[in-house]
Amino acid sequence: MTFIEILVQLLVAAAAFLQGVTGIGFALVAGPVLLMALNDASALQITALLNLLIALVLAPSVAGRADMTLLKRFGAAALIALPFGLALFALASPSILKLVAGVVVGGLTIAMIRGARGGTIKTDARGDWMAGGLAGALGGALSMLGPPISLRMAARRIEKSRNRATVLAFFVVGYPLVFVGQSLATEFSADPLWGTLIYAPATLIGAFAGQFAVKHVSELFFRRLVMVVLLATAVSLIIDAMRSVFAA
């Protein structure tokens, strides 16, 4: 195994650790790393399958804690928006997709932080449906289901265990649909399946480590960490998109 291959495995494990702690973040770290390593759109499908693997492993530990009302709204809205994301996955430039996603996630995160400082908590159903729709579109286009619903639950100040449980349940249902949809939107290949097997051990190690670490994370630190991850997601997407534009 080369140095680069070892480095990719370590970064995938780190991404899984972050996902284990916050419920999100795997696509932020592992997605770009796999894209650079593989230089192929199958990296996004591998990201979706590894995300599903993490969710399946961690979901039993938080079984019964998911907010079913939010989960149903997120799921229905995501299902409606998923085809639009898949169309973008098949047709649009990856750099444009990343730029739009970065601006959307960054804008929503900043708005949520400002609202939290002002002490307002919006619990109207429209916001839930919008978050689910954005999740479905970003999931289909970039295998990134987590940021919109995590933002929404942070805005609602959902406590840590219920937040993670809802995200994991959403992933268990959503990522199989994302993978199948992406496979149908492009020519099917077995490469994502083999890639998933290669990175599965590192993913599982990171996820279990994150599951252990989350027990020692306070509610306040958890919310702050989620915000940092979301802002980093936005900045990373925008920078990567601009780099692609200027390199063209």
What count of other Cβ atoms lies within 10 Å of the Cβ of residue 183? 15
Residue 54 confidence (pLDDT): 94
Q: What is the per-residue pLDDT across 36-78, written as a single tens digit (0 to 9) for each?
A: 788 677 888 999 999 999 999 988 888 788 999 999 999 999 9
Residue pair 200/192 in contact by the 8 Å Cβ criterion? no
Sequence-distant (6+) residues with CB within 8 A of 128 are 70, 73, 74, 77, 152
pLDDT mean over 164-169: 91
pLDDT mean over 11-18: 90
| Lowest-confidence segment of 113-117, 207-211, 214-218 by average pLDDT | 113-117
Q: Which class for 61: exposed (0-12), middle (13-18), buried (19 or more C-beta within 10 A)?
A: middle
Residue 243 above 80 pLDDT? Answer: no
Domain that holds residue 181: 3-247
Helix (H, G, I), strand (E, B) or coil at 2: coil
pLDDT mean over 145-172: 87
Residue 115 confidence (pLDDT): 57
- The DSSP letter of residue 217 is -
| Lowest-confidence segment of 46-60, 95-109, 174-188, 200-214 by average pLDDT | 95-109
Higher-pLDDT residue of 132 and 24 is 132
- Count how many domains the chain has: 1
Q: What is the per-residue pLDDT across 99-138, written as a single tens digit (0 to 9) for each?
A: 777 787 777 677 666 655 555 556 678 889 999 999 999 8
Of the candidates 191, 200, 231, the one whose C-alpha atom is nearest the C-alpha of residue 43 is 191
φ/ψ of residue 159, rounded to 5: -65, 160
Residue pair 54/207 in contact by the 8 Å Cβ criterion? yes
pLDDT mean over 13-37: 83
Residue 235 confidence (pLDDT): 82
pLDDT band at 91 (very low <50, low <70, confident <90, very high): confident
Quick one: what percent of the chain has pLDDT higher than 90?
A: 35
- Quote the Cα angle for 16-84-82, to 5°: 45
Structure token digits, residue 42: 């199958």
